[in-house]
Structure 1
Amino acid sequence: MIDVSKISVFMYFDYRDFIRAVLETMQSKGLSLRAIQENAGVSGSAFFSRILDGSRPLSIANAKNIAKSWGLSVNESDYFLDLVRFGNEKNVDVREELLRKLLAVRANNQEFALQDSSLKFFSKWYYPVLRDLLPLLPPNMPAEKIGRMFTPVLRAPQVESGIRYLMESGFVTLDENGVYRVEQPIVSTPPRVRSTILRKYHLKNLEVNSEVYDLFTSDDRSVTSVTCSLSKESFEKVREEIAKLREKILALSREEKNPDRVCHVGFQLVNRAKVKEVK
C-alpha cells in the first residue's frame, strides 16, 4: 500500500488531475510508473499515460484497485469513484446529479464550501444580471424597487437573497457610501464542471426569454435568426465568428461610460437537420 494521505482527493473535480498529482509525488520519491502500476494491480501497456492523455477512461474496477493501493479511506474512495463516474459520464443529466454529490461532500469542509459557493453564480438566471445592475443604482435602493426593474419582475426576497449571495461570494462589495462595486473573482473549474453548471443556466435563460418576449417592444429587443446549409468546416467557422462577436460585445461593455440597462445576449448555433451518410 502506498500512502498518499498528503494529497486530498477532495481538492479535485477531475480524477485525472488527482492521479497526475499522486504520480508526480510518487515519482519524486523514486518510484517508477511500472512499480506504481504493479502495486495498484492494474495492467496494460502505458496504463497511466493513456488515462492521463484522455485516450482511455479509467474503469470503476481499476479505480477501486487504485483507491485500495493508495490507501484511500472509505469517504475518500467513495469521492474518488464518483469523481471517475463524473469524468466519464456522457449524459448531462446524470453528470449534473454526480456533480451535486461531489459538491455535497465538499460542503462538509469549510474551505471547499467557500470555494464552491462561487459556482452558484449561474444557478439563478438573475444573479449575473443583479451583479451588473447593482453598481448602476443610487445608494440604499429598496429591494422591492430593484425587483421591479427586472423582466420578469423579481420579488423582494429574491433580490435580498441574491445580493447576500453576491456579497458573500465576493462578486460585489458595498462601500461606505452605500454604493455597490463589481468585483471579478476567478472561478477556475474543469470543463466538465463548467458545462454541467452552464447547461441549466442557458436552458433557464431560453425559458425566461420565451416567457417575457411579448413584454418588450421592438425598440427593446432584437431577435433574428437564419436557417442555412453548412458543411462541418463552415459550421466551425460560424462558431468562431460567434466567439469573435461575443468578444467584441464584451469589449463594448467594458468601454461603456454611461450604462443604463443590463442585457442578456444569446447565440444559438444548432443542427436542425443533418444528412446521414448513406452506406
Structure 2
Amino acid sequence: MKSILEYKDYRAYMQDYYDYRKSHGAFSWREFCKLAGFTSPNFLKLVCMGQSSLSKIKIAPVAKAMELVGYESEYFKHLVLFGNAETDSAKKEALVEMDRIAREHKVRVVDRDAFQYYESWKYPVIRELAPMMPGAQPRKIADECKEYVSAEEVRDILAFLVKAGFLKKDGEKVYTQTEKAVIGSPEALPIAIRSMHKEMGNMAVRAVDRYSASERYFTGMTIGVSEATYSRIVNEIDICSKKIAAIANESDNQDQVYGLNFQLFPFTNKIEGANHA
C-alpha cells in the first residue's frame, strides 16, 4: 500500500491498511481492535466510517498495531490531530508538522508555501508589484505600497517568491511572474485563505474612508435568498471573478495593484417554515 506520507486523512489510511491486511490473509476488525487494545470488536471500523474518532491516548497503540515506527508513527499522530482538530489554528499546526516530516523524508504532501503566501497581503501584492518596477530597490517597492511594509520585509518576500516559484528573477532586481498558481492540498488551502480573507476584509474597511470615490468602488445589498438561489448567486460570482481576472490579464501595461473582494454572508439565521410561495 501507499506510504503513510501520501495520506491526509487518517481514516483513509486505517481503512487502506485494513483492506491491505485482509487481502493478504485472514484479518478482521476484531483482530485489528484487539491488537490496538480495544475491547469493542468494531470500534476501529466505526472510526474508519466516520462514526467515531480516535482519541489522543489511543493514537500510539493504533500506530503500533499498524506496525508504524519512527517518523511514520509521528506522522500518523499529526494526521489524527489534523483530522480531529476543531479550529483552524490546530489544523494548521498539524499540517505544518506533517509537511515537515514529509519534507525530511523526501515526500511533499501538503503545500506549506500556500500558508506563507497567504500569511499576509504583502505576498500577493508584492508578487504583482515587483514586475511593474524592474530594477527597483526593496525600499522603493515598499514606498509604493499603501499599507506599511518595510524594505527588509520586501527583500525577504521577494526571496521567498522566487524560491517558491511564484516569481522568476530575470536580472538584477528584475522579476516576472511565472505561470505557477498558488496551489495546496484541499485540506491546507482553505485554512490559509481564511486568514487572508480576514486581513483583506479589515483593509477594505479602512479603504472606505481612506480613498476617494474615484479611487475605490464599493456597493452592497441586503437580499433574501433560498438555498437554491444562494448556489446560483455563488456560481455567478465565480463566473464574474474569472471574467475580471481575464480582463486584468489582457493588459500588458499594469501600473497599479488593486484588491477585489466578493462578499456574500448571512445576516440572519435560517427561518424554518418561512413562506416560500
Q: TM-score, normalised by structure 2?
A: 0.79
Distance 2:21 2:91 in 1: 31
| Alpha-carbon displacement from aligned partner over 1:58-84 (angstroms, at most 9, x marks no partner) | 423775554222211154323313212
> Does the C-alpha gap of structure 1 residues 118 and 185 become closer, same or farther in structure 2, counting only changes over 3 Å?
farther
1:248 aligns to what?
A: 243
Alignment of 1:78 onto 2:71: no
> Does the C-alpha gap of structure 1 residues 25 and 250 become closer, same or farther in structure 2, counting only changes over 3 Å?
farther
Q: Give 1:104 shift.
A: 4.9
Distance 1:190 1:115 in 2: 6
8 Å contact from structure 1 (residues 172, 183) kept in 2: yes
Distance 1:259 1:66 in 2: 56
| Alpha-carbon displacement from aligned partner over 1:206-245 (angstroms, at most 9, x marks no partner) | 1223234433221111111111111122112111111111
Distance 1:182 1:73 in 2: 42
Q: Give 1:113 shift.
A: 10
> Does the C-alpha gap of structure 1 residues 226 and 238 become closer, same or farther in structure 2, counting only changes over 3 Å?
same
Unaligned ranges ≥5, structure 2: 35-40
Q: What SS does the aligned partner of 2:203 have?
A: helix
Alignment of 1:169 onto 2:169: no
Distance 1:114 1:233 in 2: 34
Alignment of 1:221 onto 2:216: yes
> Which one of the candidate residues 128, 131, 137 is aligned to 1:135?
131
> Does the C-alpha gap of structure 1 residues 161 and 79 become closer, same or farther in structure 2, counting only changes over 3 Å?
same
Q: TM-score, normalised by structure 1?
A: 0.79
8 Å contact from structure 1 (residues 173, 183) kept in 2: yes
Distance 1:176 1:204 in 2: 32
8 Å contact from structure 1 (residues 147, 155) kept in 2: yes
- C-alpha RMSD of matched pairs (Å): 3.3
Q: Give 1:264 shift.
A: 1.3
1:146 aligns to what?
A: 141
Q: How many residue pairs align between the two structures?
A: 266
> Which one of the candidate residues 18, 35, 54 is aligned to 2:27?
35
1:99 aligns to what?
A: 95
Distance 2:62 2:28 in 1: 10
Distance 1:229 1:107 in 2: 48
Q: Give 1:121 shift.
A: 1.2
User: Within 5 A, what are the aligned runs for 1:1-40?
Assistant: 7-16=2-11, 18-19=13-14, 22=17, 30-31=23-24, 35=27, 37-40=29-32
- The code of the aligned residue for 1:239 comes to V
8 Å contact from structure 2 (residues 6, 109) kept in 1: no
8 Å contact from structure 1 (residues 171, 182) kept in 2: yes
Alignment of 1:197 onto 2:192: yes
> Does the C-alpha gap of structure 1 residues 104 and 45 become closer, same or farther in structure 2, counting only changes over 3 Å?
closer
Q: Percent identity?
A: 22
- The code of the aligned residue for 1:258 comes to N
- The code of the aligned residue for 2:24 comes to L
Alignment of 1:120 onto 2:126: no
